[in-house]
Chains A and B, each alone.
Chain A
Amino acid sequence: MIILDKVSKIYPHSTHPVQALKDISLTIKAGSFTLLMGPSGCGKSTLLNLLGGLDMPSSGEILFDEKSTKYFNDRDWTALRRSEIGMIFQFFNLLPMLTAQENVALPLLLRGDPADQIQKKAVAVLEMVGLGHRLDHLPGALSGGEMQRVAIARADAISPKLLLADEPTGNLDSKTGQDILGLLASRTKASGLTLLMATHSQQAIEHADQVITMKDSEIEEIQEIS
């Protein structure tokens, strides 16, 4: 379970400091599929960045499984990203010089998993997302949808508890976007992980358990979907 308690983020500026998040308090249940929706600039990405430890809150507290991250340093966040948090981005963010298999294997390598298990795992995850035939392809040789599948496989490879996805279908056509949403939903269900996804896509709602709507750096509405 993830709890945010009065989390705020202010970007300092000598004359015009920018309030990106304002007193956000919410609970995300373990194993849920939560959507973050709202207009551009409302704070969705900032919230995901704070949850991934890419940025630090100015005030408030974030708890992972009741464990406070208030005093986490860079090393603690790195450890968390290695084992518990997977991330997916709008522009896929694959490393262009690595093959699909290498991209997926990379987080396991960085974590220091046993070498013989890494490649097996990478192949298995890629097969799971339907790319078993694209193992040695460089990202440049893959379609947008395939690249996002590789990115999902990479995030999934570490068997995270939390998957953060920042507009994963934003750069895809609607058909491919739908496929990706389906894949994410099925991965969530299958592995029991928690998925928090920032999106503009209305199609995503049909897969979600909870929809959080944000406006002007604040939560406007939390909608449970039965």
Chain B
Amino acid sequence: MRQFILLKFISLRHLVREKRTWLTLIGVALGISVFVSIRIANQSVLNAYHQSVDAFTGKSTVEIVGRSGALDENILKTLRNEAAITTIAPIVQTVLPMSTPTTSQGEMLLFMGVDLFQERDFRNFNVVGEDDKPLDMSGAFEVLLNPDSALLTEQFASRYGLKVGDNFSVRMEGKPLEFKVAALLTGDIAQTRDGNIAIIDIASAQWRFQKLGQLDRIDLITDEEISVESIISRIEKSLGGDVLVRRPQQRNRQIEKMLFAFQMNLTALSAISLFVGLFLIYNTLLVSVAHRRKEIGLLRALGVDRAQIFGLFTIEGMVIGTVGGFFGVVIGSVLARWVVQVLSKTVTSLYVAIPPTPFSLPLSLFMEGLAIGVLVSTFSSLYPAWQAAQLRPREALEGIFGSEVSRINHQKLLCLSLGSGLLSFIFSQMPMAWGFSWNGYVASGLLLMAFSLIVPTTILLFSKAVRLLSSQSSPSWRLAQGHLEQAIRRNGPTISAFMGALAMMISVVIMIESFRTTVVLWIDQTIQSDILGFPASYMVSDSDETLPRDMLDQIEKMDEVKAVDGYRSRMILFRDESVELVGRDLAIHAEHSKYLFRTGKSVEVIHKAIAQREVLISEVLANRFQIKEGDTVQVPTPQGNVPFEIGGVFYDYGTEGGKLVIDRAQLIQYWDDSHIDVIAIYLGENEDPTSVRSKLLVKWGSSSGLAFTTQGPFKDEIMAIFDQTFLITYALEWIAIVVALLGIANTLFVSILERKREIGILRSIGGSQAQVVRVILVEAFYMGVIGNIIGLICAFFLSLLLIYVINKASFGWTLQFHFPPMIILHSFLLAIGTALLAGYLPARKAAQTDLKEAIAYE
């Protein structure tokens, strides 16, 4: 009850009246909003992904896929003899772009070739015929008998203005493939992929997509009485090692793992703002305790005990956290609408096709945001509250503040910093676990702590240096320096928070710049062809469209062309995990382009690989499966497992999960796959790529949906995708800076309250308003400079952790460390600009201090 009285009469009045409470609230709200928006966006994207996966998986308990790619349909006979299998649903599927428009913007349509009678047991959908008349299975089967017939979802059909009976066409190998809308689909399955699904009869699919005798997947419903694991082992035994029999959930595990790492990284980044917000509350309360020491003394004199003083300040922190948390969730949900869009775009281009994700804010996330606000604020208010409780009534009444008179133990702080740095190093050397680089994040946190701990000592040293170096004729510099040194305890946490935000921002920039430089270098060295030809849909992640097969020969015959390299990529199951297998003309690649191998010269390694029929693998694959040059790996082919020796490991930044590269001749030999996805064209000397490109466009022009691009624009496009990926990262960083900016403004505001008298004296002895403004701004400038100096050094080490620990563990890429020298100037400008901006309002307020009050104040 007494606590409630204190809260009502003391805390709430302070909270409402003091402007700095509002600054803190805004900071906390922003910090939480970033965290919440990323959580909402991550959740929404994951939900969308799961929803689409679940609708496809349906009720199947087991699925069978070919390790080398397609399945032979003859295995259906064997499966039919298995008593434990209740229903079998064979599937042929492919993703092709709509013919119109013919650019890469044309929507992708997933064709599922199914056995309609079996499908009913697996997936939930309804078929509606002409005049909205529902069709039963036999009715639907009847309309699909024609090999040109397809069932389209209602939403897709309406987007394209298609009705039952209308024709539409998709593009395959550069030519249009005509279909007729036989009926419309509704139900769960029609909701996935934003409705971009077409169902056709399985036999039609095999014929029209040139997959005769092949299946892409077989879904099974098995006897509930028998354990799924025992059925899986029985099927494996009867079908042999060429197929993979698994639970449907396993299929998504790999993508989920990568998504998890990606989302964890984003969450960790968003936690930066939360961390800065935590400092903000800590600082506000610490300052509040200092400012209200007389009030605390009076309360103690009036009979309030230590626990109640402790409770008073903790509750104040909690109130800030709760209100900040509430607004944080509200702002976060607005922010999330944008993040969801960017995120689903990024995830689609990096990992898996995610439909345009609907935004949703579940109550659980709303509550989570609030809970985070309360927890963070309670945690950060504990120390200030403890300090308040330690005040002795007499000292407090006389205005002596224990912590201010006690000396800062710099030696102790430096030892703690060293210990924290050492622990950070130890954690950085540990292996990752639970699918993400937890140790990297712990190491980063410890590193930040190590640098935060040296802030007070740095302030002292900086202040001494300024005193030695600064001109005696400038009072602003000397006064600001004097105050900075005098208020280390107050300025320390603010500069730490600012330093932390800056360090994280700069380190992420260094990481992205390193990544960018590495990718640019990689592109420059490995993409040497003058012109690249590919289906316009190639840049969309899951398109199965390939180039016309005769294109390679025809281009090769052109006078201007010196050589062409046909590039084909397909997915296989390597050690039960989905990886990319590439077949290309290695001899041409060796002669005209190169791979950046970990060891060995490109020409030599590739020629040896051709001669000895070796496989080349990317670094990500080598790291993922712990394999290296000289190892022999079993690669599943339609003709069984084939042993390949690893001829070389090359750096590659184009594929998320890694790739295997073999000579095109072997792809044709083992997989009978002569398709081409991309054609790399090398021109003769003195040939103009632009005019040859025009010639190619005339021949295979836009009607066939093929794109030809010269080297420059292709590289630009890759870099555009790269930059898009890091869009959110930059946005998150900026918000952290804004939160830190509020921290500095807050500290300076408080500093002015504390220095009212000093400002009064300054004015009474002839200091002008402009000179007062200058003193405060110089102090802000000092804070910015110190924050920036420590922030830059901290950022250097943080970026090493990001590049060599977190990124390496999460994605498997080796990035060349690149420290852009301009970042020193940029960060300096940013830090100083931010600090001066944050200092301006407080400085204006200081200049307008009521002189008689300031002088009379005692």
Give the interface of A toward B (CB within 8 A).
Answer: 45-46, 49, 52, 54-55, 74-75, 78, 81-83, 86-87, 89, 91, 93-98, 102, 105-107, 109-111, 115, 118-119, 154-155, 158
Contact = CB atoms under 8 A, between A and B. Distances in A.
A42 B303 CA distance: 36
B766 A110 contact: yes
Nearest to A83: B766
Given A109-B475, A110-B771, A97 B483 contact: yes
B485 A97 contact: yes
B763 A78 contact: yes
B473 A78 contact: no
Contact of A95 (B761, B766, B771): B761
B485 to A, nearest CB: 7
A78 B767 contact: yes
Contact of B766 (A45, A118, A158): A158
B764 A95 contact: no
A226 B764 CA distance: 33
Contacts of B472: 105, 115, 118-119
A55 B852 contact: yes
Contact of B852 (A49, A78, A118, A154): A49
Given A49-B852, A93-B855, A74 B769 contact: yes
Interface in B472-515: 472-475, 478-479, 482-483, 485-486
B851 interface: yes
A81 B856 contact: no
Interface string B102-120: 0000000000000000000
Contacts of B483: 97
Nearest to A75: B768
Which 7 pairs from chain A and chain B are nearest by CB?
A97-B482, A82-B766, A115-B473, A54-B851, A109-B475, A107-B765, A55-B852
B473 A87 contact: no
Contacts of A49: 851-852, 855
B852 A95 contact: no
Contacts of B398: none
Contacts of A93: 757, 760-761, 764, 855
Nearest to B765: A107
A24 B761 CA distance: 26
B136 interface: no
Contacts of A45: 856
A50 B452 CA distance: 48
8 contacts: A54-B851, A54-B852, A81-B764, A93-B855, A95-B762, A97-B485, A97-B486, A115-B471
Contacts of B767: 78, 110
Contact of A81 (B471, B474, B757, B766): B766
Contacts of B485: 97
A107 B760 CA distance: 13
A95 B760 CA distance: 11
Interface residues of B, number: 29
Nearest to A111: B766
A83 B757 CA distance: 22
Contacts of B486: 96-97
B758 A95 contact: yes
A49 B761 CA distance: 13
Counting chain A CB atoms within 10 Å of each CB, the highest count among B486, B760, B856, B858 belongs to: B856
Contacts of A102: 478
B763 A118 contact: no
B161 to A, nearest CB: 71
A105 B472 CA distance: 10
A107 B486 CA distance: 21
Contacts of A105: 472
Interface string B835-857: 00000000000000001100110
Interface string B765-795: 1111101000000000000000000000000
Q: Which of A95, A98, A107, A115 has the most CB of B within 10 A?
A: A95
Nearest to A154: B765
B765 A110 contact: yes
Contacts of A109: 473-475
Given A78-B763, A93-B855, A110 B475 contact: yes
Q: Which of B475, B478, B771 has the most CB of A within 10 A?
A: B475
A102 to B, nearest CB: 7
A129 B294 CA distance: 36
A49 B857 CA distance: 13
A130 B765 CA distance: 22
A154 B762 CA distance: 12
A93 B763 CA distance: 12
Contacts of A154: 765
Contacts of A110: 475, 762, 765-768, 771
A91 B764 CA distance: 14
A56 to B, nearest CB: 10
A155 B765 CA distance: 7
Contacts of A96: 486
B475 A89 contact: no
Given A46-B852, A102-B478, 12 more contacts: A49-B855, A54-B760, A54-B764, A78-B769, A81-B765, A83-B766, A86-B765, A87-B764, A98-B479, A106-B762, A110-B762, A155-B765
B766 A107 contact: yes
A154 B761 CA distance: 11
A54 B763 CA distance: 9
A93 B854 CA distance: 11
A203 to B, nearest CB: 24
A159 to B, nearest CB: 12
